[in-house]
Amino acid sequence: MNVHRAYQYRLYPTPAQEAALTWTLDRCRELYNAGLEERRGAYRTGGILINSTIQQRQLPGVKNVRPEYKHIGSQVLQDVLQRLDRAFAGFFRRVKAGQTPGFPRFKSRDRYNSFTFKQTGWSLDSIHRRLYLAGIGNLKVRWSRPLEGTIKTVTVRRDANQWHVCFSCLVDIPDVSPDAAKPAVGIDVGLEHFATLSTGEHIANPRLFRLGQDLLTRRSRTMARKQRGSKRRQKAKLLVAKAHRKVRNQRKDFHHKTAKTLVDGHRLIAVEQLHITNLVRRPAPILATTDAGSSCYAPNGATAKSGLAKSIYDAGWGQFLMILTHKAAEAGVVLVAVNPAGTSQICSGCGAKVPKPLTERWHRCEHCGCFLQRDVNAAFNILRAGQARQAGA
Ligand SMILES: [Zn+2]
């Protein structure tokens, strides 16, 4: 079985190499923004869609006007234009789904952080353990784990003051299927806990996230006090980026470990299909009339919801699901995403509807006497729906 795997390593460029990397990033970003401008113009004035195939044909012309682009590999530049394709595809997908996404945006220096090589423009020196990149040189790499499979793309990424390389590989792994004796499990995403299993077990939200978030908030405030364009602001900005990186890495690590434990212990995992965008959207204001007859804004749950949204962001369920999907596929574990509608309101014991507000943490069924924690009841229902779907498939 062939699977895609990403291997990331830290790079240690010399000052000259770092300057070359930054220069390449800046040129790629410039091209991205120019390509975006062209597409926006064509779309807004005539509803015309321009894609990367059309824009790629203009690359030789670009190189004539701006000879510095000759120093960057054609595939790297093509990839920049393909990123625009993805940005627009995402935009139209959200429009189609009835959402109101923002039009793809121009990227500032802080928001354009990587460029990608495909088959050419790079090589690996197995003797000196260096990575050669055309136009940059031989880079020192910290090989923190073995690189396996066939390399499909090589992406260089800037992360605040660090540089990383990510090899996207196709790896041939032996086909495996999990032990049929292993149990099936349903998982409910929570706010109180990161997740609750149908076994009654809770997976806690690591406190580290909150601590990291606090540090991030503090440092962002410090940065906001510094004068724009000043040296001190630059320094403060780096600290903010470092705090971000720490939170991100801790979360990813937690997701990997949790997903591994779940995949190792089960033959089937049922999860809720979550539409995170619906939860983080700002609730609409509600206009009400006071007793005196004047208009006012009624409570619309904005604060509660932003707290909720924040927790969901914190829990990072989307990233976790992606990691879980990946690991499950590699281990032959069945992962079923079920419709979350009603999972918390239906009794897992008898199927009766037991309505309860979000604040009610317990499920009490007067029909069958079932008494469970709200999340555990939901996890049961998710498991059952997942098993039903799998039996039907
Ligand atoms: Zn019941």
pLDDT band at 10; cut points 50, 70, 90: very high
Q: Where are the beta strands (DSSP E) in the chain?
A: 2-12, 114-117, 122-125, 130-133, 137-142, 150-159, 162-172, 184-189, 195-197, 202-203, 268-272, 286-289, 295-298, 334-338, 362-364, 371-373
CA 11 to centroid of ligand 1, rounded, Å: 58
Residue 385's nearest CA partner among 327, 329, 342 is 342
CA 202 to centroid of ligand 1, rounded, Å: 22
pLDDT average, residue stretch 293-301: 50
CA 205 to centroid of ligand 1, rounded, Å: 29
CA 180 to centroid of ligand 1, rounded, Å: 30
CA 352 to centroid of ligand 1, rounded, Å: 5
**Which amino acid does the sequence have at 39?**
R
Place of tokens 């409570």: 299
CA 378 to centroid of ligand 1, rounded, Å: 13
Strand bridging mode 184-189 / 268-272: parallel
DSSP 353: B
Whether 222 shows a pLDDT value over 80: the answer reads: yes
CA 363 to centroid of ligand 1, rounded, Å: 9
Q: Tokens standing for 296?
A: 């006012």
CA 191 to centroid of ligand 1, rounded, Å: 24
Q: What residues contact residue 318 under an 8 Å CB cut-off, 6+ apart?
A: 274, 276
Residue 322 exposure: Cα atoms within 13 Å on the Cβ side:
7
Does residue 157 sit in helix, strand or coil? strand
- 353-362 pLDDT, tens per residue? 999 887 888 9
- 227-280 pLDDT, tens per residue? 998 999 999 999 999 988 888 888 899 999 999 999 999 999 999 886 554 444
pTM of the shown model: 0.80
CA 347 to centroid of ligand 1, rounded, Å: 5
Strand order in the sheet with 202-203: 202-203, 195-197, 184-189, 268-272, 334-338
Q: In whole angstroms, what separates CA 374 from the centre of its chain?
A: 28
- 64-123 pLDDT, tens per residue? 999 999 999 999 999 999 999 999 998 888 888 888 888 899 999 989 999 999 999 999
Whether 137 shows a pLDDT value over 70: the answer reads: yes
Q: What residues contact residue 163 under an 8 Å CB cut-off, 6+ apart?
A: 10, 11, 12, 13, 18, 21, 156, 157
Residue 208's nearest CA partner among 233, 181, 243, 241 is 243
Residue 191's nearest CA partner among 278, 317, 301, 303 is 317
CA 348 to centroid of ligand 1, rounded, Å: 6
**Arithmetic mean of pLDDT over the chain:** 86
Whether 304 shows a pLDDT value over 60: the answer reads: no
- Cα distances (Å, whole numbers) of residue 1 to 28, 94, 260: 35, 33, 19
pLDDT band at 163; cut points 50, 70, 90: very high
Q: What residues contact residue 272 under an 8 Å CB cut-off, 6+ apart?
A: 187, 188, 189, 337, 338, 340, 343, 382
Q: Sign of the CA dihedral 240, 246, 252, 254?
A: negative
Q: Near ion ligand 1, which residues have CB within 5 Å? A: 347, 349-350, 352, 365, 367-368, 370
